[in-house]
């Protein structure tokens, strides 16, 4: 890849994208934290501002995995987490909890109206253990007294080793639009494969457009 990490392409609120980040969108590459954080921040600012949806960044999700229950409030209180009905978390399989990374992305969502953690994984529940562990920890912060449900939702399955991040972002947007209309997650339909196919190009064009403002 030709991109470098001293070539800033876009500064968008709390996210800085370099050429090396943007290059990940143009080929068969795994999406990193920077691209995912950017798109979640875009959704938060441009589409879901003022709603009861909370989109948590990959970096904060990793901190939640690494921190004891007593410290979760450090990360979640500033986000007004307890006031939100739907909490979306990009989850990866990184075992080194001191740093971001990993090889697979999936989506964990908490629905307050349904008192349920939902996990959507585009690779046969590869992240099931991480999803259940984080759900259990978050149930303590949310004061659910361990009385909650955990459910694996059907997800469109990827047919390669690198598009998990794209599937995860498509699942986020699909569910977010659904809960805004229906106030629940149960009953949401699968994403369309055509949306997955075009998502890399859409995000790349979005970055170009914002960079030209």
Q: Which residues are catalytic?
A: 104, 121, 164
User: What distance in Å separates the CA atoms of residue 31 and residue 45, rounded to the nearest whole number?
Assistant: 21
DSSP state for residue 51 in the 8-state scheme = S
Cα separation values, 113 from 9, 51, 52, 93, Å: 40, 15, 11, 28
Give the chain's radius of gyration (CA, Å): 17
The 10 Å Cβ neighbour count of residue 77 is: 11
**Strand ranges, E, within 122-201:** 149-153
Task: Please give the structure tokens belonging to residue 187.
Answer: 């009953």
Cα separation values, 130 from 19, 137, 205, Å: 31, 11, 33
Q: Angle of helix 164-182 relative to helix 33-46, nearest 10 degrees?
A: 20
**Strand ranges, E, within the chain:** 8-12, 15-18, 53-55, 86-92, 105-111, 116-120, 149-153
For 53, counting Cβ atoms within 10 Å of its Cβ (0-12 exposed, 13-18 middle, 19+ buried), the class is: buried
């Amino acid at each position: 890849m030709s991109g470098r990490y001293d070539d800033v392409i876009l500064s968008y609120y709390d996210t800085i994208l370099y050429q090396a980040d943007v290059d990940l969108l143009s080929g068969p590459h795994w999406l990193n934290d920077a691209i995912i954080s950017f798109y979640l921040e875009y959704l938060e600012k441009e589409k879901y501002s003022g709603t009861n949806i909370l989109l948590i960044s990959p970096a904060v999700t990793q901190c939640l995995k690494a921190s004891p229950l007593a410290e979760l409030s450090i990360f979640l209180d500033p986000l007004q987490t307890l006031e939100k009905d739907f909490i979306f978390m990009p989850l990866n399989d990184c075992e080194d909890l001191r740093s971001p990374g990993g090889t697979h992305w999936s989506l964990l969502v908490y629905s307050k109206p349904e008192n349920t953690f939902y996990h959507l994984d585009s690779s046969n529940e590869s992240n099931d253990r991480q999803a259940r562990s984080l759900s259990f920890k978050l149930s303590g912060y949310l004061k659910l007294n361990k009385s909650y449900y955990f459910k694996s939702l059907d997800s469109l399955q990827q047919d390669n080793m690198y598009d998990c991040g794209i599937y995860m972002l498509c699942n986020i947007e699909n569910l977010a639009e659904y809960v805004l209309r229906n106030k629940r997650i149960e009953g949401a339909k699968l994403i369309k494969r055509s949306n997955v196919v075009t998502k890399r190009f859409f995000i790349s064009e979005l970055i170009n457009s914002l960079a030209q403002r």
